[in-house]
Amino acid sequence: MPVLLAAALWGTTGTAASFAPDAASPLSIGAATMGIGGLFLLLIGGRSALAVVRSGGSSLVVGGLSVAVYPLAFYSSMDLAGVAVGTVVTLGSAPLFAAVLERVADGIRLDLRWAGAASLAVLGLVLITGGDSGADSTSTVLGSLLGLLGGAAYVGYSWTATRLMRRGCRSRAVMGALFGTGALVLLPVLAFTGGPLLSSASGLVVAGYLAVVPMCLAYVLFGAGLRRTSTTVATTLSLLEPLVAALLGVLVVGERLGLGAWCGIGLIGLALVLVSLRR
């Protein structure tokens, strides 16, 4: 349940970002969201988070860099390909990346069900990038590629968080340490790109909402959920986000998805069902 609640909150990010000033870049929105939100999580984690920072080692570096890459790729993906497509590609690819990572790092075997799900997801991505999503084809392809990068980064910090928690670290401490480390990279990006976003009232409202609600609150919930489930299951459950984002993108933002894009989304949904099934 905590992961599902977090995913529902994440699903509002693209729609909220669409209300930012036109001059605000996706890099500044992503950096503000997880840079400022990362500082909030570090404060919530308190001394326990600082202890994880001191003892995290290479795992913390990998996780922190993944935290920094994720919002820059994700918000750029939505800017190029649209809220619906960018979110579906980013989060739709995450369970597949998670399964591969757990196979390589943890020795979890991949079966025929996973291979079938991966094939459906790839076909779905092809249909989305080739379908009429309201953006030109070049932007859609570039946005989808950035979405894949964002999906890989999302899995990177989720897997790192799971490993740190299995060492006995508290979830809030781990989230604070990871996102506080990522903030060290994101805040300089915000300083260079954040002028148009932070110089207007609407930009401040958007940045504040994104940093507090779908960032800080949602990742507290996500961290609590990671203590009770694997990376693959958590990333699969978080795919409620693309559904929420796609619906809000169509109903609120006014995006239009062609038949091919909807079929691609449906195939990714079917792939998610197959990934989430247990023997």
Contact 58, 237 (CB under 8 A): no
- Please tell me whether residue 108 adopts helix, strand or coil conformation: coil
- Please tell me whether residue 7 adopts helix, strand or coil conformation: helix
What is the tens place of the pLDDT at every residue in 110-157?
667 767 776 777 677 667 655 544 556 778 888 889 989 999 998 888
Report whether pLDDT(252) > 70.
Answer: yes
Query: Other CB atoms closer than 10 Å to residue 25's CB: what's the count?
Result: 19
Report whether pLDDT(278) > 80.
Answer: no
pLDDT for 72? 92
Band (pLDDT 50/70/90 cuts) for residue 73 is very high
> Going by C-beta distance under 8 Å and a sequence separation of 6 or more, which residues neighbour residue 202?
19, 20, 21
pLDDT for 149? 93
Cα 168–chain centre separation: 25
% helix, strand, coil for the chain, step of 5: 85, 0, 15
Based on C-alpha coordinates, what's the Rg of the chain?
18
**Residue with token string 């079938």:** 116
- Strand (E) or helix (H) holding 57: helix 57-81
Mean pLDDT of the chain: 80
Residue of 2, 268, 33, 22 whose CA lies nearest to 151: 268
pLDDT for 279? 42
Cα 161–chain centre separation: 14
**Residue with token string 């930012």:** 20
pLDDT for 235? 64
Greatest mean pLDDT range, 187-191, 235-239, 268-272: 187-191
What is the tens place of the pLDDT at every residue in 74-88?
889 888 887 777 877
Mean pLDDT for 3-11 is 81
Report whether pLDDT(263) > 60.
Answer: yes
pLDDT for 189? 92
Q: How many contiguous H segments (helices) and E segments (strands) does the chain have?
A: 14, 0
Q: Is 160 exposed, middle or buried (0-12, 13-18, 19+ CB in 10 A)?
A: buried
Report whether pLDDT(66) > 70.
Answer: yes
Q: What's the pTM?
A: 0.78
Mean pLDDT for 205-233 is 80
Contact 183, 31 (CB under 8 A): no
Band (pLDDT 50/70/90 cuts) for residue 107 is low
- Please tell me whether residue 11 adopts helix, strand or coil conformation: coil
Report whether pLDDT(207) > 50.
Answer: yes
Give the residue, 153 or 226, on which the prediction is more confident: 153
Report whether pLDDT(69) > 90.
Answer: yes
